[in-house]
Structure 1
Amino acid sequence: MSYATALSGLYGASSDLDVISNNIANANTVGYKQSRAEFADMYASALTTSVNNQIGIGTRLSNVQQIFTQGTITATDQDLDIAINGNGFFELSQNGSTVYSRNGQFRPDKTGAIVNADGLPLMGYAADSSGVINKGSVVPLQIPTTDLAPTATKKIAASFNLNAQDPVPKATPFSASDSTSYNYPTTAPIYDSLGGSHDVSLYFVKNSVGSWDVYGSTGSPATPVGPDPAGKLGTVTFDSSGNLTSPSPATFAFNIPNGADGGATTQPLTLDLTNTTQYGQANGITALNPDGSAAGQLQRYTVGSDGVITGTYSNGQSLALGQILLANFPNPDGLTDLGGNVYGQTASSGTAQTSTPGSTNHGVLQGGALEESTVDLTSELVNLITAQRDYQANSQSIKTQQTVDQTLINL
């Protein structure tokens, strides 16, 4: 009996060494959770055995538990390194099945799919070409491999200060080629539907106290814009405090030749002069914000705490590319370890509760960072010494029993 008891102790100590060694081996594995071996004693059961006289028959390995504590988060210089701070697991697709991981080392493959080191796609909500996230279905997330399409300018939002002390120009009528016929010129960049860049020139001509005419032209030589032969867009007036009083709203609609088709059609534009003032100081721009953009190439992407992946393009535009989801479980300890830093759902873990990062009972994400292994090497080395002594002690039990048996044989 004592041989079997000691052998079970040897097996237990060996299993403990296996678990500790696995922890040490994974001390630098991103997202790894420290494991521990859990043991239970064993007793022989018999109806005639008195409880007070029971002698144990050894030990058995009852469970290897992974302890899901938060690992240290370390910043990296990789856009698609993602750390989970709090509860939850990344959802990955493996041969049509969903698996889960805390390892946030991702990269785009040759098709733009976001995958881990083993090529498993990261799951979440996709975004359309306008950056609108579709929360109706969970799909593999994708980084666009094509340029961002250009958008034509429709509105020029601008505000200026027009110098109240400027005199009325002596040269009349207005002419874009005669600088003495206007008080202040400026240009606004705009884009056609193909992303071509063009300039719209604006001219401000003082009529009288508190009244200014606005003219526009485009191209070289200057071609007047709009239906007016001289390119007059309208008149703005100000009160004695320098505030814009008319028109209200302070917008002017006009057309320019469409550069996308060589001027065969026109491109409609609106000039919005809201917040323009007339103070006794130099003429100048206080804001100039035309909409529209040229085509853009994706330069980098960032991951927000809510899991939204935002792409930054060479044309200065930013667009949502998708949103990462997190899955939490009623009992994460019940997950089965599938290797490769992924886990599988079991009846013991309960059903995955999938939601966006930051929602109830789900952690947040940190882009450009990774969650380190939770293995404490110092503690594991101490545990290694303890397990070694356990093994030696059980070996001594066998040696002692052998000595007793030899004594009996010699009798």
Structure 2
Amino acid sequence: MSFQTGLSGLNASSKNLDVIGNNIANANTVGMKYSRAEFADLVSSSLGTGGGGGSGIGVAVATVSQQFSQGNINITGNSLDVAINGGGFFQITKTDGTTAYTRDGQFKLDKDGNIITNTGANVMGYATSLTGVQLGTTPIKMVLPTGAPIPASATTAITAEFNLDARAPIAATQTPPTPVSTYGTSLTVYDSQGVALPVSLYFVKIDPATATPPVAATRDAWSVFTDPAGTTNVGTLVFDANGALVPAETTFPTDVGGAGTLRLTPVAPSIVPPFDVSVNALGVTQYGASFNVSNLSQDGYTAGELTGVTIEATGVITTRYSNGQTQSRGQIALADFRNVQGLAPVGSGEYLATFTSGQPILGAAGVGKFGELRSGAVEESNVDLTAELVNMMTAQRAYQANAQTIKTQDQVLSTLVNLR
């Protein structure tokens, strides 16, 4: 019987060394979770022996369990590398259509713009709006628009914030009259084809009585022109004694109550018809300070090529374009399980759900028990190399000790055989 006991010890120690060797071999494998061999004793028993226990007959490896503790986060600088800092797994769809899960976030782009793993599996996530709002709860393949550029968008609104100098005299009272170009600014807007169209605005202080319609003498008025010659008058800005704009008396578009719009004509030759742009000038003031433009913006843009990708802590994928625009293109999904040790490893850092693990619980990074994502980083293996080397020496001693029990039993039998 001692031979079988010693042999079971050799087998268990050998299996333990296999597990330790695998841990050491994967000390630098991204997303790797170390394993440990867990042992159980073997006991012999027979019927009718009463309450007495049977004798031990050796040891067996009960299971090899993986330990899903957090690995260190290593910064890589690659925008498609993603680490999970906390609970959860990336959900992926393998090339054979099987759903799997992984902690390895070394993602790539294929020729069609799909975000994939090193094994070619598709990374799954949720559809979002262009502003990052999640639109569904069913995971889909994450795809980036790497082909055609994003289309142009015509300007629909202009926001203007600036200060007109309250100390400025009425232009017509000066000799010679103050040039129209003294107080001016410009910006670029875009038509529906993304063709740039320069828009200039010039401001001339006028006598309130000459305004159209006339305003009270207790107000200050400025005419607004779109050309430096002062021939195209598009409205009047009216200010009160506190230097604040009076929208009710202002005829220049202010985007309030349908006050009006600027009609712009695309640069010839163009098939694009004239189009209207609303102007929000509620941030315009008149104080005793120099003319200064603090904000002059518009919402249009020309076509743009993809120039970069960033992944936020919530998993939202944001694309950057050559026209300065950013758009959200999905949100990486995470999955978790009631019993992560019930997952079945299939290699390449991938796991399959089993009856023991339970069904996956899907969600988004940073919500509930799911960890946050770190773009430009990967999760290192959680293998403690020093501990594994110590474990290896311990397993080696156990192997040697079990071999010694077999050797000793052999010597005892040899002595019995040699009795006369």
Aligned residue type for 2:282: T
Partner of 1:175: none
Per the alignment, residue 254 of structure 2 pairs with 250
Instruction: Give the SS at the match of 1:245.
Output: coil
Partner of 1:30: 30
Residues 1:123 and 2:100 are matched in the alignment: no
Instruction: Work out the CA distance in 1 between the residues paired with 2:142 and 2:128.
Output: 9
Does 2:169 align with 1:159?
Answer: no
Structure 1, residues 293-331: CA drift from partner, whole Å, max 9, x if none?
A: 111222111111111111122211111111011101001
Name the CA distance, whole Å, in 2 between partners of 1:244 and 1:156. Answer: 17
- Match of 1:24, SS state, is helix
Q: Spell out the pairing of 1:90-101 with structure 2 (5 A cutoff).
A: 90-94=90-94, 95-101=96-102
Name the aligned partner's letter for residue 418 of structure 2. N
* Cα pair 1:17 1:384 within 8 Å, conserved: yes
| Deviations 1:73-118 (CA, angstroms, capped at 9, x unpaired) | 1211100111111111000002222100011110111111001111
Give deviations 1:265-290, integer Å, cap 9, x for gaps: 11211222111111122222121111
Cα deviation, residue 168, structure 1: 2.3
Deviation at 1:51, TM superposition (A): 5.0
Q: Any unmatched runs of 5+ in structure 1? A: 173-177, 225-229
Matched, 1:168 2:176: no
Superposed CA RMSD in Å reads 2.2
Question: TM-score normalized by structure 2?
Answer: 0.89
Q: Which amino acid aligns with 1:324?
A: I
**Hey, what's the Cα distance between the residues in 1 that align with 2:164 and 2:178?**
16
Kept in 1: contact 2:154–2:301 (CA 8 A): yes
Separation (CA, whole Å) in 1 of partners of 2:109 and 2:380:
22
Distance 1:292 1:179, change over 3 A: farther
* Aligned mates of 2:268, 2:43 — CA distance in 1: 87
Match of 1:386 among 387, 394, 411: 394
Match of 1:303 in 2: 311
Separation in 2, partners of 1:58, 1:50: 22
Indicate if the aligned counterparts of 1:107 and 1:114 stay in contact, CA closer than 8 A.
Answer: yes
Does residue 1:59 correspond to 2:73, yes or no?
Answer: no
1:167–1:109: structure 2 CA closer, same or farther, 3 Å change rule?
Answer: same
Amino acid at match of 2:247: S
Counterpart-to-counterpart distance in 1, 2:237 and 2:45: 101
The residue that corresponds to 2:202 in the other structure is 203
What letter matches 2:317 in structure 1? I
Identify the range of structure 1 (116-125 vs 159-168) with the bigger mean alpha-carbon deviation.
Answer: 159-168
Distance in 2 of aligned mates of 1:36 and 1:312: 45
Contact 1:171/1:181, CA 8 A, preserved across alignment = no
Distance (whole Å) between structure 1 residues aligned to residue 131 and residue 150 of structure 2 = 10
Distance 1:206 1:124 in 2: 57
Is the CA contact 1:303–1:367 (under 8 Å) kept in the aligned structure 2? yes
Contact 1:79 1:367 survives alignment (8 Å): yes
Measured in 2, the distance between the counterparts of 1:344 and 1:53 equals: 40
Pick aligned residue for 1:285 from 261, 275, 293 = 293
The alpha-carbon distance between structure 1 residues 147 and 107, as it changes in their structure 2 partners (threshold 3 A), is: same
Query: 2:172, 2:178 within 8 Å by CA — same for their partners in 1?
Result: no
Describe how 1:79-98 pairs up with structure 2 within 5 A: 79-94=79-94, 95-98=96-99
Contact 1:306 1:365 in 2 (8 A): yes
Give the stretch that moved more between structures: 42-51 or 397-406: 42-51
Distance 2:53 2:165 in 1: 107
Moved more, 38-47 or 6-15: 38-47
Partner of 1:62, secondary structure, is: strand
Q: How many residues align?
A: 397
Q: What percentage of residue pairs aligned between the two structures are identical? A: 43
Q: State the match for 2:76 in structure 1.
A: 76
1:127 to 1:179, Cα distance in 2 relative to 1, 3 A? farther
* Alpha-carbon distance between aligned partners in 2 of 1:370 and 1:361, rounded to the nearest angstrom: 20
Could you tell me how far apart the structure 2 residues matched to 1:260 and 1:344 are? 62
Residues of 1 paired with 2:193 and 2:156: CA distance?
Answer: 13
How far the C-alpha of 1:167 sits from its partner, in A, is 2.1
Pick which of 161-170 and 370-379 moved more: 161-170
Report the residue type matching 1:62 in the other structure: A
**Secondary structure of the structure 1 residue equivalent to 2:226:** strand
1:172-321 correspondence runs (5 A): 180-181=179-180, 183-208=182-207, 210-217=220-227, 230-247=231-248, 250-251=254-255, 252-259=260-267, 262=270, 265-321=273-329
Shift of 1:349: 0.6
| Counterpart residue identity of residue 190, structure 1 | V
Per the alignment, residue 215 of structure 2 pairs with none
Would the alpha carbon gap of residues 106 and 56 (structure 1) be closer, same or farther in structure 2, given more than 3 Å must change?
Answer: same
Distance in 2 (alpha carbons) for counterparts of 1:193 and 1:274: 26
1:333 aligned to 2:341?
A: yes
Q: What letter is aligned with 2:24?
A: I
The runs of 5 or more residues in structure 2 that have no matched partner are: 208-218
Which string of whole-angstrom CA distances, capped at 9 and with x for unpartnered residues, describes residues 348-373 of structure 1?
11110001111122111111111111
Cα distance in 1 for residues equivalent to 2:375 and 2:381: 17
Q: Distance in 2 between matches of 1:38 and 1:164?
A: 84
Q: Work out whether residues 39 and 60 of structure 1, in 8 Å CA contact, stay in contact via their aligned partners in 2.
A: yes
Shift of 1:130: 7.0
- Separation (CA, whole Å) in 1 of partners of 2:378 and 2:311: 12
